[in-house]
Amino acid sequence: MRRTEDLSIDMRKKEDVSFDYNKKMPDEKQERKSFNINIPKKGKTYKSEMTEGTVKVKVKKGPWDIVYEWIDSFVFSIILILLVFTFCFRVVGVDGESMMPTLNHGDWLTVKAINTEINRGDIVIVTQPNDRNEPLVKRVIAVGGDTLDIDFFSGQVKVNGEIIDEPYIMEPTRNKGDFDKPIKIPEGYVFVMGDNRNNSLDSRFDSIGIIDERYILGVANARMFPFGEWEIY
């Protein structure tokens, strides 16, 4: 008379139990052992004492389990976004018209805030204290070691004796502010101006002056709003 397999399952809830054996069941004449399966946790895989196969235990998820997983994923995503924008990128709004036609009042920019190398032509966010007591959005014209000169009759700007190409400005530079002679930029500092040269408070004025790089929050790399107008250079 054939032996039968004694399988008892202790289940506190309705569970689906499926048996997936990697090898064929033993021959009928081979001795089989009985075993019990307790299911304390869902999704676990248990080794069978009877063969080299495995026993897979599947547990049905209730509606609250699904809701909890969605909430958990949402909270994790929000935390990740906050960390990225806190330590990697910032979002900054443009206030005023000093950077027209490149940037307009009300634009929102993403700003790279870490491992930032400042180069000529970069649009930067300046937090250096000033008479207006607010951050400034300006373009870097000269960096440490450069010699800067401005010809206010022709409106041309020279860096290290060469006229620089400025396709981004609204009009030639006529407003001299407090700038009256060529200046050599110290290391660790930059000279900034707005693209709207004749309507910009920037390094030409003593109230702003040259900018210590330690007061540069970051380099703007894209326009977040208005949508679709991503490029800013």
d(CA 104, CA 52): 70
Is 13 catalytic? The answer is no
Rounded to whole angstroms, the Cα distance separating 33 from 1 reads: 16
Catalytic pick among 18, 42, 58, 138? 138
Distance from CA of residue 56 to its chain's centroid?
A: 41
CA distances, 132 to each of 60, 92, 93, 135, 136 (Å) = 62, 17, 16, 8, 9
Q: Which of 18, 48, 98, 203 does the annotation list as catalytic? A: 98
Annotation says 23 is catalytic: no
Phi, psi of 213 (to 5 degrees): -60, -25
Pairing of strands 123-126, 136-143: antiparallel
Q: List all residues 6 or more positions away from 55 whose beta carbon is below 8 Å from its beta carbon.
A: 17, 19, 20, 37, 45, 46, 47, 48
Give the span between the Cα atoms of 10 and 40, in whole angstroms. 10
Among 96, 101, 93, residue whose Cα is nearest residue 195: 101
| 19 in Cβ contact with 44 (< 8 Å) | no
Residues annotated catalytic, as ranges: 98, 138
